[in-house]
Amino acid sequence: MRDVAVVSFAQSPHVRREQNRNEVEILMPVVREARERSGIAHDEIDFVCSGSTDYLAGQSFAFVAGLDGIGAWPPVSESHVEMDGAWALYEAWVKIQMGYADTALVYGFGKSSPGDLPEVMALQLDPYVLTPLWPDAVSMAALQARKCLDEGVLTEADMAAVAARDRRHAESNPFAQVKGSADPEALLAEPTLVSPLRKHDCAPISDGAAAVILAADDVARRVCERPAWISGIHHIVEPQDPGLRDLTRSRSTEIAADKAGVGAGTVDVAEIHGPFTHQEILIEKALGLGPDTTVNPSGGALAANPMMTAGLIRIGEAARRIQDGSAGRTVAHATSGPCLQQNLVCVMEGR
């Protein structure tokens, strides 16, 4: 295996509605910042990979506009996934492992505000037996939350505590959208949104972008004082139909965490991509984290959840804490699909 590290990370401020900038205009300054911070010039980047979804822009091949924005002349080696940018990072990592590249630019972007995001998310479901019933993303998550509550896997108080913790952590994150929280008791006094979920259980709808630069071996050592070396990365998908899955645990995260080697050492920081409070609890359990791990110091997806980007941000945030010396070993998680269908786990360390 080649040694591959995150050497640079940048993100936009995440907001409920970017009135005046389109997706490309949100993305361009972020890519420029990530590149400048890495010290790797545009023409030294061997591979470019992005994560976004045409369903937000409402037109096919919308991601090509993003590629125009980062500069595709002279021709670049490029790929795109209709997934969170965390999976674009996985593809870039494979490309580097295969020896086809030494450096890669990975980015994700999503402007959800023009549409009704929970309804748009129904389009990712089985087109024959699920989408025609239009179960929005909050309703799907609520089915999972009630199952967990019924079976005693977690309580509503646990869920409110996660929301309060993350949104308090977000107070020190200049890029976060939702900062600060009332006490869990006060949150629980609020009415339900889609029962059993309350507003605080749901990630905000966000517009935003993020970019990461990967580099291998000596390139990483040359450009970065303390690279965040990826010691393990893995992803697993479960069946699309939520009726075919055990919704009270995340089997795919458990397997991915094992394959990525989460348990091989202490975890100083974990950045979890849980768009709903109960999902964050399920992932924390699936990763096998102990009390010594600080979970979501950035505030996580509950503080800002730009579609196709919030998973990549978890990797960037977990890497950043190695680069600044505040953590020795970190874990980042990304999720995709309804009710935690697909999960990616990335372990990083300073050396």
Partner 1 sequence: MPDPTQPTETTEALVAPHSLRYTYKRSVGPIMGKFFTALREGRLVGVRRSDGSVMCPPKEYDPETAAALSEMVDLGDSGVVTTWAWVKTPRAKQPLDHAFAYALIQLDGADTPLLHAVDAGSESHMSTGMRVKARWKDERVGHITDIACFEPAEEGA
Q: Give the residues lining the site for partner 1 (CB under 8 A).
A: 58-59, 116, 119, 126, 128-130, 132-136, 138-140, 142-147, 150, 192-197, 239, 241-244, 247
Contact 177, 14 (CB under 8 A): yes
**Residue 72 vs 129, nearer CB to partner 1:** 129
CB 137, min distance to partner 1, A: 11
Cis peptide before 135 (omega within 30 of 0): no
Contact 12, 209 (CB under 8 A): yes
CB 65, min distance to partner 1, A: 16
Burial 295-319 (b: 16+ CB within 10 A, else e): bbbbbbbbbbbbbbbbbbbbbbbbb
Query: Token pair of 102, please?
Result: 């030494």
CB 267, min distance to partner 1, A: 31
CB 54, min distance to partner 1, A: 10
CB 201, min distance to partner 1, A: 12
**Residue 10 vs 197, nearer CB to partner 1:** 197
Contact 7, 92 (CB under 8 A): no
For residue 306, CA distances in Å to 38, 158, 205, 239, 351 come to 23, 24, 7, 24, 31
CB 135, min distance to partner 1, A: 5
Contact 228, 319 (CB under 8 A): yes
Contact 49, 88 (CB under 8 A): yes
Cis peptide before 174 (omega within 30 of 0): no
Query: Counting every residue, how long is the chain?
Result: 351
CB 178, min distance to partner 1, A: 22
* Strand bridging mode 294-295 / 269-271: parallel
**Residue 120 vs 345, nearer CB to partner 1:** 120
- Provide the residue type at 101 as one letter: A
Cα–Cα distance for residue pair 321/318, rounded to 1 Å: 6
